[in-house]
Structure 1
């Protein structure tokens, strides 16, 4: 079971939108040396929605090659068409990913039975550990705990990233019959510390992009049940948890990494550069966390 701070890593780009492969590999190396426990390649924060299939798989392949087995690599392979999700998951397995992260189908709003059949089809088709991903604020689709419990019985569905941002949902999941080997990850940095103290196994994080060491230490303390230390570290990061979302992710976090001289200032349309009105806010959050 993967535990701890799992970064949903950005995909660095030049101002013209081309992928900056050198910066990607440097970021991966930085995360490994700073203690990040696992890396999600090509998730929401990695701009999966605007990468073509070749780029998508190339990011996964290059990340795996750079990691060299030192930490797990989880590939984002979700899609709103089941056949496409199966294809991406198989390609991620072939590229060497240790697991896949599959967001609920977006826009088409499947019912709970449709969600179950979608994920079961992917699990049946590809022998790779798979993590469900619920983020209704982006997808317009909320996977309920009862559906998660049905899916948890499938052997290669091994976990859930829950990004609804409500501790009541985390408690409902922790109280459900999901099995001892099923992992629950927070997908909301603002509530991740408390979620882990409640019993979650880690955080799939945006904040970890800019504060990998602190996020690793916070998650480790929370997993050990050290509330005082976990909350102290989390308090230093609270401005980041909040202000990295002053505009839609990954706009602020990519601006922050550029400010830290880690990546160029590139995004792909329809995303645009951070509004200048937010520069001082994000910069202050970086300074409060001690990373700028």
Structure 2
């Protein structure tokens, strides 16, 4: 079972024109998160800027992360793409590297049919042995995985869960119901809905905000597990202070700047064409971090 708070880490880059991956900052960030109690490290997701990393960079980054994590928590690697063959190739390489599970987003830009989505995941699952977590984020991909598709896919042995970032609780509930008879975890991908998802039967969350306010998000889940729902609700509401600031720039520019200004790790800027936050936005970020006593 995948449960608790899994952090989809930002990918640290050097602050230069080439913006190459900063592995010292990567190690600093990962050690910070594990020491704070996250239950998994998820690389190459939306906040990890998978869409601007080359195949070679993804492979090298995964190798380094697996070595840094050293089996302290599971490592999830995003391998989704528009071409099934590309996903299969990258997924097999990630399996050879030693990641613990794959997170695979639906094809994006195009809008595949339910049958095409089913075939996409079935083909990938046949080519790897490690667990696969489906990734539903319709705002970015233009398509929502249908509940009956989830029901069919949940019957495949190594398809073990789904991250739902739709923000639609009826949609998340339909996934929980569709796979209730299978060994299949539903993970919340919308940080504002962690409590709602848990009450419905979600086993955990893949929460981007945990890059910054790790204590808040980890404590929220611990309180839920211990039945202290009222205290958990206070922390759930508190996450909105960060979420409101994240809207001030293109993903993941504000999240990365928050990690830096909180002195967690020098993760650098988002890759171009995303702009660096302005001084005025930095002031807003510092106000937010002050709220959490991180500066």
- More displaced, 22-31 or 230-239? 230-239
1:268 aligns with 2:268: no
Contact 1:152/1:179 (CA < 8 Å) preserved in 2?
Answer: no
Q: For residues 160 and 290 of structure 1, what CA distance do their matches in structure 2 show?
A: 33
Q: For residues 93 and 79 of structure 2, what CA distance do their matches in structure 1 show?
A: 9
5+ residue gaps, structure 1, are none
What is the aligned partner in structure 1 of residue 244 from structure 2?
242
1:213 aligns with 2:207: no
The 5 Å alignment of 1:111-150 reads 111-150=113-152
Q: For residues 184 and 224 of structure 1, what CA distance do their matches in structure 2 show?
A: 20
What is the aligned partner in structure 2 of residue 43 from structure 1?
45
Choose which of 73, 78, 81 in structure 1 pairs with 2:80.
78
- More displaced, 2-11 or 191-200? 191-200
Contact 1:36/1:213 (CA < 8 Å) preserved in 2?
Answer: no
CA shift, 1:86, in A, is 0.6
Contact 1:207/1:244 (CA < 8 Å) preserved in 2?
Answer: no
What is the aligned partner in structure 2 of residue 28 from structure 1?
30
- DSSP 3-state at the match of 2:94: helix
Contact 1:237/1:288 (CA < 8 Å) preserved in 2?
Answer: no
Q: What TM-score results when the alignment is normalised by the length of structure 2?
A: 0.94
CA shift, 1:232, in A, is 2.0
Deviations 1:64-117 (A, max 9, x none): 111111100001111111001111111111111000000110011111110000
Deviations 1:99-137 (A, max 9, x none): 000011001111111000000000011111000000011
Q: For residues 264 and 158 of structure 1, what CA distance do their matches in structure 2 show?
A: 31
What is the aligned partner in structure 1 of residue 169 from structure 2?
167
What is the aligned partner in structure 2 of residue 5 from structure 1?
5
Deviations 1:250-292 (A, max 9, x none): 1110111121232143221122212444333332222222323
CA shift, 1:143, in A, is 0.9
CA shift, 1:173, in A, is 2.0
Change (3 A) 1:178 1:116: farther
Q: For residues 264 and 97 of structure 1, what CA distance do their matches in structure 2 show?
A: 22
Deviations 1:4-55 (A, max 9, x none): 1000001111122111110001111111111011010111111111111111
CA shift, 1:222, in A, is 2.0
The 5 Å alignment of 1:40-119 reads 40-119=42-121
- More displaced, 139-148 or 231-240? 231-240
What is the aligned partner in structure 1 of residue 185 from structure 2?
183
Q: What TM-score results when the alignment is normalised by the length of structure 1?
A: 0.95
What is the aligned partner in structure 1 of residue 232 from structure 2?
230
What is the aligned partner in structure 1 of residue 20 from structure 2?
18
Change (3 A) 1:129 1:264: closer
What is the aligned length?
A: 292
- More displaced, 143-152 or 241-250? 241-250
What is the aligned partner in structure 2 of residue 291 from structure 1?
294
Q: For residues 85 and 243 of structure 2, what CA distance do their matches in structure 1 show?
A: 35
Contact 1:137/1:164 (CA < 8 Å) preserved in 2?
Answer: yes
5+ residue gaps, structure 2, are none
Over the residues paired in the alignment, what is the CA RMSD in angstroms?
Answer: 1.5
What is the aligned partner in structure 2 of residue 202 from structure 1?
204
- DSSP 3-state at the match of 2:197: helix
